[in-house]
Amino acid sequence: MPEGPQRSGRVALLGRPNVGKSTLLNAALGHPLAIVSPTPQTTRDAILGVTHHGSAELILLDTPGLHRPLTELGRAMNDAAREAARSADVVLFMVEVPQVQGDKPRLPRPHPGDVTLLADLAPETIVILVLNKIDRIHDKRLLLPLMSAFGQLREFTAIVPLSALKKDGVAHVLDEVARHLPEAPWQHGAEEMTDRPTRFFAAEYVREQILRATKAEVPHACAVHIDRFFEPAGGGVVHIDATIHVERPGQKAIIIGAGAEMLKRIGTQARGRIEELVGRQVNLKLWVRISPDWRKSSRELQQLGYRDATGGASATGGTLLFANLPDDIEAPQGDEVDLDAPEEDDGLESEQIEIDEDETDDDSALSPQGDEADADSDDESGDSDEADEPAAEENQ
């Protein structure tokens, strides 16, 4: 635990999708602020979390997993990560240790995608390598060759093996980071955990439940927009209306489910998470709307609260992270996705999009208007719903 003069600085959590960046952020904060799921590309926008560790203030930026983008959303996600890295005092480059099959010890090697991303980090950047998920390896000696292989790729300020899930080694990495932050007065109060408004997390917690409840392309085709967030001053029930945007009628039918059961489940679980965050009772109402191809449209991304990928860092041609990636990353803006474009072998996973464009024929759950479904997400308690106006009017 660092002592002495106050330190404060920005720390970017960077890495491929699914390596455990959000889990580490939550472990550092001691609170499940960021959403976590086994589905790659869960995090879509950089999330800032603040933690105080001894005399040091760590302003942690959890970034979307770096991948080969195929849509405007994918580009926006990569840009968010790139900007976080550029503005950071310290980069925590996170990788996951490979799953060791059976008893056969083999020499684990760095993932090719990690090699690509590391090569694009500026040499002067302070980079701490985090080897996550060490709980998956019984024989910890296997880590040594892996650490040594990574050490050949660039100079790391430190290499820290840990398990973010088991919170094993987290204090150690915070110590290492704190040591390299500049001396500066703290910018945030001890109770402050994030600069994101509560409504941002309300949308995230709805999306988290969709990620947990649905499979294949559905989670990636969903965006959640908060239409109304009313938090009465002086206490009382917080009222939230949110719309889940999907791309296809079949996805809408899946999200709503038979008898709106799925939507109710998503709403009930999300409401619990939001209530935990705001410390008050929440009345959450959900709608589902079809917004075809929202991920491919800059305008719709902006409307849904995702940053415009085409006007920001990508347009300035920054090379911090992506010098080795395929052309489509620096391609001029456009909403077209060329799925047949030849891929260079950069080792990065492609953005998750649907492979099968066929619609399910399960459109029976759609309302006659075809575009909106009102789900009263309150569960059986039925205690906080009476005050609401008719959903369809509120959402026009």
Ligand X SMILES: Nc1nc2c(ncn2[C@@H]2O[C@H](COP(=O)(O)OP(=O)(O)OP(=O)(O)O)[C@@H](O)[C@H]2O)c(=O)[nH]1
Residue 38 within binding range of ligand X, rule CB under 6 A: yes
Report the alpha-carbon distance of residue 240 to residue 339 in Å, rounded.
Answer: 38
Interface with ligand X (CB under 6 A), residue from 2, 32, 40, 326: 40
Is 228 one of the annotated binding-site residues? no
How many residues of this chain bind ligand X (CB under 6 A)?
A: 24
CB 221 within 8 A of CB 248: yes
Q: Which stretch binds ligand X (CB under 6 A): 32-40, 50-58, 199-207, 244-252?
A: 32-40
How distant, in Å, are the alpha carbons of 51, 255, 288 from that of 60? 8, 33, 33
- The minimum distance between CB 94 and ligand X, in angstroms, equals 7
Instruction: Return the amino acid letter for 167.
Output: K
Piece of the chain touching ligand X by CB under 6 A; list 34-42, 185-193, 255-263, 325-333: 34-42
Q: Is 132 in the site for ligand X (CB under 6 A)?
A: yes
Shortest spacing between CB 117 and ligand X, in angstroms: 12
DSSP notation for 47-92: EEEEEEETTEEEEEEE-PPP-B--SHHHHHHHHHHHHHHHT-SEEE
Residue 63 counted as an annotated binding residue:
yes
**Residue 352 lies near ligand X (rule: CB under 6 A):** no
Nearest approach in angstroms of CB 164 to ligand X is 4
Q: Which stretch binds ligand X (CB under 6 A): 117-125, 127-135, 275-283, 330-338?
A: 127-135
Is residue 135 at the binding interface for ligand X, with CB under 6 A as the rule?
yes
Whether residue 66 is annotated as binding a ligand: the answer is yes
Task: Give me the least distance between CB of 27 and ligand X, in Å please.
Answer: 8
Figure out which of the listed residues 23, 116, 251, 314 binds ligand X, where binding follows CB under 6 A. 23
Quickly tell me which residue has 């409401």 as its tokens: 271
* 16 annotated ligand binder: yes
**141 phi/psi in degrees, rounded to 5:** -65, -25
User: Which residues have a Cβ under 8 Å from the Cβ of 369 and sit 6 or more positions away?
Assistant: none
Decide: 89 and 180 in contact? Cβ < 8 Å: yes
Structure-derived torsion over alpha carbons of residues 358, 361, 364, 369, reported in degrees to the nearest 10: 50
What is the Cα–Cα distance from 33 to 35, expressed in whole angstroms?
Answer: 7
Q: Consult the annotation and say whether 110 binds a ligand.
A: no
Binding site for ligand X (CB under 6 A): 15, 17-23, 36-38, 40-43, 64-65, 132-133, 135-136, 163-165
